[in-house]
Amino acid sequence: MHSVTLKPFIDFTDVDSRPRRINDFPIRCDFRRANRNCRIVARASERDGGAGAEAENLSQQSSSSSSSFFQRSQSYALMKQQMELAAKSENYEEAARLRDSLKSFEEEEPVLRLRGLMKEAIANDKFEEAARYRDQIKEIAPHYLLKCSSDATTLGIRVQVRSVYIEGRSQPLRGQYFFAYRIRITNNSDRPVQLLKRHWIITNANEKSEDVWGIGVIGEQPVILPNNSFEYSSACPLTTPSGRMEGDFEMKHIDKVGSKTFNVAVAPFSLSTFGDSTDNI
pTM over 0.85: no
- State yes or no: pLDDT of 114 exceeds 80: yes
Per residue in 205-214, pLDDT (tens digit) is 888 999 999 9
Delimit the CATH 2.60.40.1470 region(s) of the chain: 2-38+146-280
- pLDDT for residue 75: 79
The band of 69, judged by pLDDT with boundaries at 50, 70 and 90, is low
- pLDDT for residue 5: 38
Per residue in 159-209, pLDDT (tens digit) is 999 999 998 899 988 889 999 999 999 999 999 999 999 999 999 988 899
- pLDDT for residue 65: 52
Confirm or reject CATH 2.60.40.1470 for domain 2-38+146-280, answering yes or no: yes
Mean pLDDT score, 237-266: 95
Q: Please choose, from the candidates 31, 25, 21, 20, the residue with its C-alpha nearest in 3D space to the C-alpha of residue 6.
A: 25
Mean pLDDT score, 223-240: 96
